[in-house]
Amino acid sequence: MSEYAALARTAPLPAWPLVLMFGLVPVWWLAGAFYLVWPVFGLLLAGLLAARGGVRLPTGAPVWLLFCAIAALSLVEVERVTEVATALLRLAFYLTALAVGVYGYTLARERGVRVLWLPLMLFWASLAALGWVGVLAPGLSLATPVERLLPHGLAAAPYVHDMVHASGAELRADGVSTLRPSAPFPYTNLWGSCFAILLPAVLACVASLRAGWPRRLLILSVPLALPPAFLTLNRGMLVSLGIGLVFVALRAVRRGRPRLLATIAVLGVVAVALTWFIPIDTLIAARTETSDSTADRLSLYGEVLHRIVDSPLLGFGAPTTVDTTSAPAPVGTQGQLWMVLYSNGIPALAVFLGWFLVTVRAGLRLRRPAGLWLSAVPLIALVQLPFYGLNYQNLSVLFLVAGAIAAAATPRVRRAAIERAAVRPPVPVGSR
């Protein structure tokens, strides 16, 4: 047993768990297991890290651990039995994101940050491909194997049904498609959030690869993914991504990176050209005229601020359905900031935001083109917090990028793949 333990502590971490987790998204989606399998992989990653022992935590991990501890403690405030399971699932996703971040950070320190490109780019490919499924077949609605195996009453519950049912586009409460792509997620806002988080990571990967077919495929994937992104009509996605691109442009000017500025300009030209075929401004205006989503959100936000004074330290444990707002959604939804504030309290929100600020600061240490792209990711996610939920798979994607940022910002791998103009073997510790 001691020999096995010694071998586990010295053997390099395998990359295959991340590849399976992030790379088989279409399989998990069609099986109805996309949400259920994620915490299972989180346990696997945590187990491999525990077997390794002596794992160093990346920047911000202690802050996130504190947030998870407060979130766990706030479960005592949950009043409805039906809300306990959903609160535990959210906590499982918080912990899974941490496991992904620590695992990715450790893997990148051992083998260079380029080892994280494969799971991230496979997830990007799945997001773009399934986005096109939502464009071409928005009415697609499949009862998955997991859905069929569940008891009918449980599978019919709206929250569970959304997780285990496969649909090409977001469905309204009456089961009619909204025509806004969402697959592999049940909600189009999650798709838009993930797209905005992943796009800079794709451009970082392009900047770190030599000329060849993988680089050409990635470059081609960007304009191909824009039509599904536009058709989601996600205003928060456009705003957060726009702020991220401005942030990268300002850093590029300061660092003297004209080629990076040219990339941003080309991306802008392609996006504008697509608006000739997809009148996104007209579609968004039409949607806002026929939808009260903005008023509903403001109603929910006001209710959170009104109610949190009754339980400021630990919140209420989970979102709550009330009849005092104009929105059909529970109080504490429609934005991760409000979710954390209402469910877990003011101290939890302060710690939660602290992780984002620490991660943004770590990204500022990166200087090369790929690093400049990656540094925009936590800022984009921070901008999304008032509008989008960041507590499911998109949070794990963010943490995998954060692990890459933390690894690239350390002296050992600062000159590794993420910080090079082309992929090369990582520099040994003693060669600095």
Dist CA 228 CA 253 (whole Å) = 31
Confidence tier at 396 by pLDDT (50, 70, 90): very high
Per-residue pLDDT of 139-180, as tens digits, reads 899 999 999 999 988 888 888 899 999 999 998 776 677 789
Nearest to 124 by CA among 198, 58, 53: 198
Dist CA 391 CA 267 (whole Å) = 29
Q: What is the pTM of this model?
A: 0.90
Dist CA 262 CA 323 (whole Å) = 51
What's the confidence (pLDDT) of residue 46?
A: 97
Q: CB neighbours (10 Å) of residue 320?
A: 18
Indicate whether 415 pLDDT > 50.
Answer: no
The C-alpha torsion from 393 through 399 and 401 to 404, rounded to 10°, is -140
Could you tell me which residues are beta bridge partners of residue 315?
Answer: none
Give the C-alpha distances (Å, rounded to integers) separating 426 from 100, 205, 272: 21, 16, 39
Indicate whether 286 pLDDT > 80.
Answer: no
- Of 124 and 80, which is predicted with more confidence? 124
Is residue 219 packed enough to be buried (19+ CB in 10 Å), middle (13-18) or exposed (0-12)? Answer: middle
Q: Are 420 and 143 in contact (CB under 8 A)?
A: no
Per the rule left: phi > 0, alpha: psi between -120 and 50, beta: everything else, 334 is: left
Q: CB neighbours (10 Å) of residue 350?
A: 13
Mean pLDDT within 188-196: 95
Indicate whether 290 pLDDT > 80.
Answer: no
What's the confidence (pLDDT) of residue 423?
A: 41
- Of 21-25, 43-47, 210-214, 348-352, give the lowest mean pLDDT range: 210-214
Residue 250, both tokens = 């300002």
